[in-house]
Amino acid sequence: MKKSLGPKAILGPTPVMVVATFNEDGTANAMTAVWGGICCTQPPCLAVSLRKETLTYANILQRRAFTVSLPSEDSLKEVDYLGLVSGREVDKLAAAKLSAFDSEVVDAPYVTEFPVVFECKLAHVLELGLHTQFVGEIIDVKAERGVLDHEGLLDTKRLRPLVFLPDRQAYYGIGSYLGQGFSSGAAL
């Protein structure tokens, strides 16, 4: 017998994403977001939902591009900070001692220190309520060689990505490997 909790936005775990954009003056801004992820494999697209008052919201509509970086556990404090403060008040990247690199394929920067980045062109804007969903077509993915395995795939143990559990608003690491997709259930 399940207990009703009411209509709550508590589905998780979520990825922890850092969305980077150019400000009007060409400087870089970055904010942390947890609502989103891949939404189409062909063309490869990702979605990220942002509130209208964020500087990132205005920047994406202006430049029609953004990047999403996946930080590792080591950057937890910096990542949380990027979600706490607005780029309208402070140069967050400088305050967090992070640096930005200009993407060569989309009109947006990305955070140099984070090991994986998805470079996106804006494809769709969906107004949902408090949040607006931006769908970006992934033009390229770039990763540090140190987080790739011998087959060139992202190595979870090396990347050590963050996950977020929304109901407790808590960050966790990735746990044990449990099994392979599209095969663990084949016996049934």
Residues 141-160 that bind its own copies (CB under 8 A): 141-145, 148, 152-154, 156
Enumerate residues 6+ apart whose C-beta is below 8 A from 43.
Answer: 137, 138
| Among the residue ranges 20-28, 53-61, 135-143, the one whose residues contact its own copies (CB under 8 A) | 135-143
89 makes contact with its own copies (CB under 8 A): no
Nearer to its own copies, 3 or 24 (CB): 3
**Residue of the chain from 19, 58, 60, 68 that contacts its own copies (CB under 8 A):** 68
**Residue of the chain from 36, 59, 63, 89 that contacts its own copies (CB under 8 A):** 36
Angle at 35 between CA 86 and CA 182, to 5 degrees: 150
| Among the residue ranges 21-29, 52-60, 113-121, the one whose residues contact its own copies (CB under 8 A) | 113-121
Residue reference for tokens 């996946």: 70
**Whole-Å CA distances, 15 to 18, 30, 142, 173:** 10, 16, 17, 11
Residue reference for tokens 């769908």: 135
- Contact predicate 120/66, CB 8 Å: yes
**Residue of the chain from 25, 89, 150, 181 that contacts its own copies (CB under 8 A):** 181
Q: Comparing C-alpha atoms, which of 165, 164, 145 is closest to residue 155?
A: 145
To its own copies, the closest distance from the beta carbon of 7 in angstroms equals 5
Beta bridge partners of 74: none
To its own copies, the closest distance from the beta carbon of 1 in angstroms equals 8
118 makes contact with its own copies (CB under 8 A): yes
